[in-house]
């Protein structure tokens, strides 16, 4: 296909590259993925060429793109085929999905849309598209999808708009990202892109977790500990078990018990108490229990001195977490969810606007949000009505400290026989996080000394440093 001297499009017929079916069974998963994507791209390219030929009234073997059947990918096991079957994609959905994938897999396939209108010497507005800062090729927008699928048929254009709405599975399930159009610009001028998760899923078969970036200022939290390692006060454990029951059975509670109209989806909890008492670990274990990813929001990367930027950064996180099985964990939450103040200047108004936005956004968020803070009184009172749980994590008592010390050495064979963990638990009132730091310090000290046994002196030296770090004086 090429543009002639008058700017019109000529169609070069390109045949599909079919592989013998007998060869497919012996291919690796990566080779099958490539084979299926190759055929899908060949079909996509033919549809695009045909759309341009028909639009410019050039000679073409088809009268409609609907005549070009998509390749049969059911016989070949592939990651892309699995996604197509999972969502029951038809031809239009496959075209839109491949349009978003094309810049990553075969960017030159979209070069046909870079031609300029010879009448005004500008790009064709009906092709849409935008140019990236680094990528030199054509990047699709909603307008590109409408042109490819609908041409100049208004009814079909409206169908494309429906596929880009938030309630369509493309956005709802996180296959595509439809970026917001600039204020007062055409609705379909919004850029569309495939999510990192599904890009990796259809190419490598592996679901990649979102990475920390300026567009996603959150870190994926994991733990190799289990519920047996969680040492908390009995009242706190009861509250956590109450929350865990909801997370595991919320669909049953809302749907089977007929409470959908009365209860909003999602769960909002406040964890408060001294540092090191298990707030972060509990969030990770709750994620494990419901097989959910836990993301700790980096407030330093979210909060901005510029008006509106904090809300924009938070919206990026909430949008990506929407309809995902995630737990959003806001540590040191009082930095963002603090009390509103009397308005005396523009800074106060800006801060109060951020809190008001968060109140609204958290209340309508259908997922799980956990706020953690050392001081309950620092959180704005208006948030408490929106919390289903406010769970206190106290400093551990003697029995809990002993359990924490014993858990720390449960698989260790380096502890000297003279070490009395009961005495350590009795003498030093420190939290579980501090005990972990003490064990780390003592182990390093033992290795530096060259002695293969960890002594009471090592542990007491570590305790002294922890207590000093907290601004306390060792009795």
User: Considering only 219-223, 256-260, 435-439, 465-469, which range has the smallest mean pLDDT?
Assistant: 256-260
Q: Which of 18-27, 81-90, 220-229, 317-326 has the highest average model confidence (pLDDT)? A: 81-90
Is residue 208 within 8 A of residue 122, CB to CB? The reply is no
Instruction: Provide mean pLDDT across the span 401-430.
Output: 91
Instruction: Provide mean pLDDT across the span 153-169.
Output: 93
CATH class of 218-392: alpha beta
CA distance 321 to 328: 8
Residue 443 has pLDDT above 60, yes or no: yes
Top-confidence residue, 80 or 354? 80
Q: What is the pLDDT of residue 196?
A: 83
What mean pLDDT, rounded, does the chain reach?
A: 85
Q: What is the pLDDT of residue 337?
A: 66
Question: What's the pTM?
Answer: 0.72
Top-confidence residue, 23 or 52? 52
Burial of 121 (0-12, 13-18, 19+ CB in 10 A): exposed
User: Considering only 12-21, 94-103, 248-257, 260-269, which range has the smallest mean pLDDT?
Assistant: 12-21
Same fold, 218-392 and 398-469: no
CA distance 454 to 435: 15
Q: What is the pLDDT of residue 344?
A: 52
Q: Any bridge partners for residue 296, and if so which?
A: 219, 329
Q: What is the pLDDT of residue 6?
A: 42
CA distance 186 to 164: 14
The tokens for 49 are: 């060429």
Segment 252-304, tens digit of pLDDT: 888 888 888 888 888 999 999 999 999 999 999 999 998 989 999 877 777 77
The crossing angle, in degrees rounded to 10, of helices 29-55 and 91-105 is 110
CA distance 319 to 329: 15
Task: Assign 395 a pLDDT band (cuts: 50, 70, 90).
Answer: very high
Instruction: Provide mean pLDDT across the span 146-163.
Output: 95
Total count of residues recorded for the chain = 475
Backbone angles phi, psi at 345, to 5 degrees: -155, 180
Residue 156 has pLDDT above 80, yes or no: yes
CA distance 193 to 107: 13
Mark out the alpha helices in 56-90 (DSSP H runs): 79-87
- Contacts with 405 (C-beta within 8 Å, 6 or more apart), sequence order: 421, 424, 425, 435
Instruction: Provide mean pLDDT across the span 121-150.
Output: 92
Q: Which of 11-20, 298-307, 309-318, 325-334 has the highest average model confidence (pLDDT)? A: 325-334
Q: What is the pLDDT of residue 177?
A: 87
Residue percentage of the chain with pLDDT more than 90: 50
Residue 16 has pLDDT above 70, yes or no: no
Q: What is the pLDDT of residue 471?
A: 79
Residue 449 has pLDDT above 90, yes or no: no
Architecture of the domain made up of 398-469: Orthogonal Bundle (1.10)
Q: What is the pLDDT of residue 366?
A: 85
Domain chopping of the chain, boundaries? 2-203, 218-392, 398-469
Top-confidence residue, 426 or 301? 426
Top-confidence residue, 240 or 179? 240
Q: What is the pLDDT of residue 265?
A: 83
Residue 377 has pLDDT above 90, yes or no: no
């Amino acid at each position: 296909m090429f543009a002639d001297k008058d700017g019109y499009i000529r169609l070069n017929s390109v045949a599909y590259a079919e592989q013998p079916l007998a060869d497919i069974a012996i291919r690796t998963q990566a080779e099958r993925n490539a084979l299926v994507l190759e055929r899908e791209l060949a079909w996509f390219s033919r549809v695009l060429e045909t759309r341009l030929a028909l639009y410019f009234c050039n000679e073409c073997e088809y009268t409609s793109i609907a005549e070009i059947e998509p390749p049969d990918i059911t016989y070949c096991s592939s990651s892309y085929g699995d996604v197509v079957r999972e969502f029951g994609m038809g031809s239009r959905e496959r075209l839109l999905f491949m349009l978003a994938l094309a810049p990553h897999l075969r960017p030159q396939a979209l070069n046909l849309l870079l031609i300029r209108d010879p009448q005004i010497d500008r790009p064709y507005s009906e092709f849409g598209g935008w140019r990236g800062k680094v990528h030199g090729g054509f990047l699709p927008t909603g307008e590109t999808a409408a042109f490819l699928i609908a041409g100049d048929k208004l009814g079909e254009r409206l169908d494309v708009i429906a596929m880009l709405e938030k309630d369509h599975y493309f956005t709802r399930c996180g296959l595509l990202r439809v970026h917001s159009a600039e204020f007062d610009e055409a609705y379909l001028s919004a850029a569309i892109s495939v999510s990192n998760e599904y890009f990796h899923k259809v190419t490598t078969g592996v679901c990649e977790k979102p990475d920390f970036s300026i567009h996603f200022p959150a870190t994926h939290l994991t733990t190799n500990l289990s519920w047996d390692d969680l040492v908390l006060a009995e009242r706190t454990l009861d509250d956590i078990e109450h929350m865990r029951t909801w997370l595991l059975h919320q669909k049953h509670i809302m749907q089977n018990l007929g409470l959908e109209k009365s209860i909003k989806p999602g769960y909002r909890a406040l964890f408060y108490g001294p540092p090191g008492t298990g707030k972060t670990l509990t969030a990770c274990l709750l994620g494990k229990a419901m097989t959910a990813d836990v993301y700790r929001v980096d407030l330093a990367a979210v909060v901005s001195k510029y008006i509106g930027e904090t809300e924009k950064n938070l919206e990026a996180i909430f949008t990506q977490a929407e309809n995902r099985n995630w737990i959003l964990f806001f540590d040191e939450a009082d930095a963002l969810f603090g009390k509103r103040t009397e308005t005396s200047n523009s800074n106060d108004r800006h801060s109060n606007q951020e809190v008001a936005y968060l109140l609204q956004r958290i209340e309508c968020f259908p997922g799980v949000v956990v706020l953690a803070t050392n001081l309950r009184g620092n959180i704005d009172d208006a948030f408490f009505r929106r919390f289903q749980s406010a769970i206190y994590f106290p400093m551990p008592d003697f029995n809990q400290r002993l359990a924490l010390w014993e858990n720390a050495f449960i698989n260790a064979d380096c502890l000297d026989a003279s070490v009395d963990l009961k005495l350590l638990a009795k003498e030093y009132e420190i939290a579980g996080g501090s005990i972990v730091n003490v064990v780390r310090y003592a182990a390093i000290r033992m290795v530096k000394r060259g002695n293969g046994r960890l002594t009471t002196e090592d542990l007491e030296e570590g305790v002294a440093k922890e207590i000093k770090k907290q601004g306390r004086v060792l009795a």
